Amino acid sequence: MTEAPAPLRFIPLPGLPEVEPGTDLGEMIREVAKSAGVSLAGNIVVVAQKIISKAEGRLVRLENVSPSAEALEIAEAHDRDPRQVQIVLDESVRIVRRGHNVLITETKHGFVCANAGVDLSNAPGEDIAVLLPLDPDASARTLHEDLSRGGAHTPVVITDTFGRPWRDGLVDVALGSAGLAPLRDDRGSRDRAGRELLVTQPATADQLAAAAGLLMWKSAGIPVVIVEGFPFEGDGGVKDLLRDPQTDLFR
């Protein structure tokens, strides 16, 4: 008989100072968690992409961007700022679809999302665009190793809000992970009726991101959530979640 899952706690971590390029996020999170009486050891730290990008200096001033002819054409067709369009093109390997004043692109990481993840909300100044981290898995690995110093294993999941095809609304998904397996493979196990599971692979990192996202509204000022009680195992990055183009029915 399968045991009932243990209860989970999702703890928002308020009071983090404004993040700037070069900010030591590990030290900042440790200090705020200690002040709040929240343990990091053995728990998962879910971090909004925006503060990772700010700390890594992934910022571009629009005044420094020179739009190409392609950016000017797209901007005119879709009522967009050509400088923003140029940044999106620079961060993309291809345009998947465009219309309704939206660009859906594939980023250099392999993510398919609106505007290559380029965002002007909660930027550290007017007319500053925040880009996705160059390598979110590497960013998660660095923070995980920092927070795990002294032997206290602390997995990290970096998240961002993505739209979804065929459904309205945004949901937080994992952009990077370290210290836990982002994908759980239940194939070969049995359901409650005894039938063998053939394709079931829950996306653990995405599930954690979505749940933590309930506490991480853009207006809430909560870029870090601690997850207590989740039985994580394994290790790996979000690259493990990207579908192989050979098995992608929509390409």
Pair (157, 226) in one structural domain:
yes
Return the CATH number at 121.
3.90.1660.10
Pair (172, 119) in one structural domain:
no
Task: Give rounded-to-5 percent helix, strand, coil for the chain.
Answer: 30, 25, 45
The H or E element spanning position 48 is strand 44-48
What pLDDT score does 101 carry? 82
Pair (151, 200) in one structural domain:
yes
Measured between alpha carbons, how far is 84 from 66 in angstroms, rounded to an integer? 10
Pair (126, 138) in one structural domain:
no
Pair (111, 41) in one structural domain:
no
pLDDT (tens digit, 0 to 9) for every residue of the chain, 251 residues total?
Answer: 345 567 899 999 998 999 999 999 999 999 999 999 999 999 999 999 999 999 999 999 999 999 999 999 999 998 899 999 999 999 999 999 998 888 999 999 999 999 999 988 877 778 999 999 999 999 999 999 999 998 889 999 999 999 988 999 999 999 999 999 998 765 556 767 777 555 557 789 999 999 999 999 877 889 999 999 999 999 999 999 998 888 888 87
Residue from 191, 188, 187 nearest 2 by CA: 191
Handedness of CA 99, 102, 106, 110 (dihedral sign): negative
3-state secondary structure of 145: helix
Whether 247 maps to a domain, the answer reads: no
Residues in contact with 229: Cβ distance below 8 Å, sequence separation at least 6, in sequence order:
6, 7, 8, 9
What pLDDT score does 7 carry? 87
> Which amino acid is located at 67 in the chain?
P
3-state secondary structure of 38: coil
| Count of other CB atoms within 10 angstroms of residue 198 | 8
What pLDDT score does 221 carry? 87
Instruction: Name the pTM for this structure.
Output: 0.91
What pLDDT score does 199 carry? 57
Pair (72, 88) in one structural domain:
yes
Pair (65, 128) in one structural domain:
yes
What pLDDT score does 251 carry? 77
Owning domain of residue 47: 9-54+133-241
Pair (154, 218) in one structural domain:
yes
- b/e map of 86-125 (b: 16 or more CB within 10 Å)? bbbbebbeeeeeeeeeebbbbbebebbbbbbbbbbeebee
Whether 188 maps to a domain, the answer reads: yes
- From 75, 110, 132, the end of a domain falls on 132
What pLDDT score does 1 carry? 36
Q: How many domains does the chain have?
A: 2
- Whether 229 and 50 have beta carbons less than 8 Å apart is answered as no
Provide DSSP, 176-208. EEESS-SS---TT-B-TTSPBPSS----HHHHH
Return the CATH number at 229.
3.30.1330.100
Whether 176 maps to a domain, the answer reads: yes
